[in-house]
Amino acid sequence: MDELGLFPLGIVLVPTERVPLHIFELRYQELIGECLAHDGEFGLVFADDDGMRDIGTRASVVDVLDRFDDGRLNIAVEGRERFRIVAEKEGRSFLTAEVEPIADDEVVSDPSAREVALEHFRKLGRVVETDVDEPDEDSGVLSFELAARVDFGPERKQELLELRSEPERLRVVSELLERAAEAITLERALAESASQNGRGLQRH
């Protein structure tokens, strides 16, 4: 069982996802400094008013973007394996814990389900009129690859992180992508309708 330095934050990092972090607290400067010195990982765990979750993601520093004279850092991290906190430890300036890895019970999703999820992702890209960075359909963790590219909010992402079935995660992600596209389409239709009604009122 590994002991891992923890970084509680108000975001959720899923496997394969890359995010920028600004490191300003001294204890986390120490944590990240050790990771950089020893090519190590730290645990990013979602924390909010309800407390810190038991399941998080190992994070690896893939780039140091800026170093400041006062020790602050801008870094980019990438999500690796998931873990569960078994026991919190004391003795360091930052929180540490004994952790155990989490593996999926079901690891292979149906090819047709992968294609459906990707088509929902493409449709969302068309709705928001942006070029999408499409993941590989044969990725073993397509659900995480897609969740890393769309902001579903931390609560939803935490739910995905805790699911231990790739087919189930992919089903949930597919539904979230479909709903997001429908919601944006509806919002734009309502805005267009309101705009036309407004013009109509002004003419009378």
**pLDDT digits 0-9 by tens, 20-50:** 999 999 999 999 999 999 999 999 999 999 9
Please state the pTM of the whole predicted model: 0.88
Residue 13, number of CB atoms within 10 A of its CB: 28
What pLDDT does residue 197 have?
56
- What does the pLDDT look like over 166-202, one tens digit per residue? 999 999 999 999 999 898 888 877 877 776 655 444 4
What pLDDT does residue 185 have?
87
> Which residues in the chain are classed under CATH 2.30.130.40?
2-101
Q: What is the mean pLDDT of residues 3-26?
A: 97
- Mention every residue, 6+ apart, whose C-beta is less than 8 A from residue 182: none
Q: What is the mean pLDDT of residues 127-150?
A: 91
Phi, psi of 129 (to 5 degrees): 55, 55
What pLDDT does residue 192 have?
76
What pLDDT does residue 196 have?
64
CATH of 2-101, one of 3.90.1150.10, 2.30.130.40, 3.40.50.10860, 3.10.310.30: 2.30.130.40
Task: Quote the CA–CA distance of 8 and 94 in Å, as a whole number.
Answer: 10
Residue 9 has pLDDT above 70, yes or no: yes
Comparing CA positions, the residue from 39, 31, 36, 23 lying closest to residue 71 is 23
- The overall average pLDDT reported for the chain is 92
- Mention every residue, 6+ apart, whose C-beta is less than 8 A from residue 63: 75, 76
Residue 128 has pLDDT above 90, yes or no: no
What pLDDT does residue 24 have?
96
Task: Quote the CA–CA distance of 140 and 143 in Å, as a whole number.
Answer: 9
Q: What is the mean pLDDT of residues 121-145?
A: 91
Residue 204 has pLDDT above 60, yes or no: no
- Cβ–Cβ < 8 Å for 142, 170: yes
Residue 78 has pLDDT above 80, yes or no: yes
- Mention every residue, 6+ apart, whose C-beta is less than 8 A from residue 120: 174, 177, 178, 181
Task: Give me the percent of the chain exceeding a pLDDT of 90.
Answer: 83
Q: Give the up-direction half-sphere exposure of residue 23: CA atoms within 13 A in the CB hemisphere.
A: 27
